[in-house]
Amino acid sequence: MTESRRTDEPEIHKGLAGVYADTTAVSKVDPASNSLLYRGYPVQDLADTQPFEAVAHLLWHGELPTDAELETLRASERAHRDLGDDVRTAIDLLPTDAHPMDDVRTALSVIGARETAGVDLLALADAGTTAEHAVRLFAELPAVVAYTQRRRHGQEPVAPRDDLDHAANTLWMTFGTKPDETVVDAFNRSMILYAEHSFNASTFTARVVASTLSDVHSAVVAAVGALKGPLHGGANEAVMHAFTEIGSADRAEAWLDEALAAKRKVMGFGHRVYKHGDSRVPTMKAALDDLVEHFDRQDLGDLYAALESAFVERKGIYPNLDYPAGPAYHLMGFDTETFTPLFVAARVTGWTAHIAEQQAANSLIRPLSSYVGHERRDVPRT
């Protein structure tokens, strides 16, 4: 017979599982359609029809932009794409074998110090200031990612181009060549699909920091720290590492059997929220298929299919967004370690939308804990 919990003991929800911490109007997973909705719009429909700039505006302001609003946002974003020597100098102080997320975290700290110097902290929680900083971070983070990859290959930075949209310019700054439309479309879709996902670990971290009335940059740096953890971000990297380890489709089943026997965690499958498959996967898989055809890499497509089939057959668990995104970024030419910084460059739109929402109806986030240590005791006297 199990002992029942005492009535005076609090019920503990480890990891805050099942706890509703606040309300949000930014996004939700619709149970009826198993679809992720941004401000009510299915994300797959947004990815099929919208540029990333329009989705950023939607997340920040609640509605898709008019043509005039989109042009205004694009003009502001293009005006802030260049990093500045101070940020590059700070990144250059880091070892080239440090994880690129360390570069991102450091760059954001420098950007934040520059943008908030001499400004009273309470003024930084103003809605207009938050909106301005959100656009600037949206513009600057692709340059951080591009510079991070290029310096690891001993390459000079590439200046942004005002005639390219957000997605195309990110690819241009990273690789120094004007990208093909197939690649731009796939990259744009991936950014939209990664942009937002309600109260995930990094978003909640950003909201906790924002609830203290700290500045936007500090909240985003904290979110980057949360996303760096392999239980939250990094799965797209892990997928590509697994593909490299497997090598070819004919080895997928044997590799998986060995991995499961060794109780290794196979990343890219399952999701804490989606119980019937991640609704973002078909859109990203279609983009991956386009890239496989564009680059004539059916070998990678076959490996993807073989591992997916074997895993679903053995575990009954389906892929999440990271599974097609990893090989897609690989085909585009991004270093595997740069995949999570790309996640940051997308998710900063969702983070800043939540920071603004937190500031608009703020309450300091300060949960309770149930103490299980020693009761009061006396310090020994000699």
DSSP characters over 250-290: GGHHHHHHHHHHTT---TTB--SS-SS--TTHHHHHHHHHH
Rounded to whole angstroms, the Cα distance separating 360 from 362 reads 6
From the list 103, 185, 278, 322, the catalytic residue is 322
Q: Residue for token digits 């985003």?
A: 220
Question: Which 8-state DSSP code applies to residue 378?
Answer: P
Q: How far is CA 316 from CA 29, 151, 192, 249, in A?
A: 21, 42, 28, 20
Catalytic residue selected from 61, 232, 241, 294:
232
Strand partners, 269: 319
Catalytic residue status for 322: yes
How many degrees, rounded to 5, is the angle at CA 161 between CA 156 and CA 163? 160
Active site residue 276: no
| Annotated catalytic residue, options 271, 278, 330, 354 | 271
> Is 271 designated active site?
yes
User: DSSP 3-state assignment of 200?
Assistant: coil
Q: How far apart are CA 109 and CA 118, in angstroms?
A: 15
Q: For 235, list phi and psi in degrees, rounded to 5.
A: -70, -35
Q: Closest Cα partner for 36 from 186, 189, 185, 198?
A: 198
* Residues with active-site annotation: 232, 271, 322
